[in-house]
Structure 1
Amino acid sequence: MNVADKRAAALDALSERDGVLVAFSGGVDSSLVAALAHEALGDRAVACTARSETLPAEELDDARRVADEIGIRHVEVEFSELDNPDFVENDGDRCYHCRTMRLGKMFEQARDLGIETVCDGTNASDPGEGHRPGLRAVEELEVFSPLLAHGIAKSEVRELAGDYDLSVADKPSMACLSSRIPTGIEVTEERLSRVERAEGLLRAWGFTQFRVRDHDGLARIEVGHDELDRALDADFVRAARTHLREAGFDHVTLDLEGYRTGSVSPAEGGVSVFDAEYPTSD
């Protein structure tokens, strides 16, 4: 089945619903689902974004902008993962606890709106991408994942998002802020806040694919391989050292292996880092 046929099948499946609420982050996957739902159902489709400490303010702004771009009704709910001690503990099932709480709020909002179906942006590539405990929550809560159900893989998601002229079609994946904290280190508001401030600097400097990992006070900066040269610029290094220390980090490092998913613990990949104690003069 080609991508056009998959899109048509997803539209048909959505159009059979009385209404849907889309768990909407503003990323490319959920944005495509929102666009499909809006095309299939019009005003009977609603996008819902959950605000919490793990969602960067810039991502919330993006979600609002993209919902307006699509033309879909957009609502927001608020909750705190930090209210759940299982989430705070940050074991291997952190994403399961987070997704269960987040989707639970979606179902509450859907009930308030008289909507029976909650959709999410899980795509056909997600189940094959290693340990994904969040997918267990999707299955347990019986969330409808139209991209997964109709075999739409990540590359096809971006292709279809481009067909809809969505501004996020090429947006890099952006996991929640808690993914920057290694397993076993408690997730706290302080750690989430300093990661958000640190990543704000990289965004301001124009980096497009990046993470700042918080190793209990040591910041490990990852940037895309094609951006490593820029990260080694003396002016940026000085700015990163100053800004990240002001944000609350004790040490600032750059990962010379560059950005990659699932690398939150240095022990997992023999990560090479250096402490960014650049001289103050050239």
Structure 2
Amino acid sequence: MTKTVWIFPGQGSQAVGMGLDLAEVGKDKLAKAEQILGWSVLDKSQTDAAELAKTQFTQPCLYVISAILTDILQGRGIKPDAVAGHSLGEYSALYCAGVIDFATGLELVKERSLLMADASGGAMTALIGFDRPQLEMAIAETADVVLANDNSADQVVISGTADAVKSICDRVKSKRAIALAVSGAFHSPLMGAAANQFAQVLAKTIFNDADMSVITNVAPNAPTTSGQELRDLLSQQMTAPVRWREICLYLAEQGFTKAIEVGSGKVLTGLVKRSAPSLGLVNISTLSQAHELMA
């Protein structure tokens, strides 16, 4: 029996031109998004990569596109057994699970993206191919830096002050170290002020109980359907690490057989393949791919 999880991409999965084929089928949501954001998702997706990569644009665009693709699939009666999202993608997962409606989710994503875009005084670097025990020891011995994204056994992102991040890169050898073009130290304690502001917004938002299990970034081994619990976990997400490797391991342990990435790109399916190679993988980032799955 197939046990399926839908996974939703976060910042870094954006691509110029994404979502253009959804203009007609998603016109109602695109119009609502323009009303909420004050700008057009499809217009922004056609700008250059540097403009689209700005946090205040990337996050809403990814959320809207994932939501439209979710509607297409669910409109044909296709539903997952569980959902998970990578950082920003967790909001798309909550929409899919019926925890928040589209407009509420986009309002949250808009506020989150603006707070994160305004953050300053930090840095993030992706490390590929490294000695994990050495990295963990170096982080434990260095102030103001954390493992922000634990994506797979050989791919992580560290986050903290610029000096602390540089110190780790100098001490730990890796095949590649890629400085990320972000404004602040996302998923680290340095986001505390922004997280406190965002927590006030979350506290005023109604979260419904989920229609299916939600596997969260903060507690990957304890999926839940409780709206209250999901809201509490989301309030921690901005300063807590994204534990994606553990999510993948949990999926394999619990007998999931297929992961469907709903949204732009193939980043998450690549990560699932590294940590949980037993799962079948499907990408739904275009209208034609959605139609293929439905067929």
TM-score between the two structures when normalised by the length of structure 1: 0.27
TM-score between the two structures when normalised by the length of structure 2: 0.26
The one of the two structures with greater contact order (alpha-carbon pairs below 8 A, sep at least 6) is 2
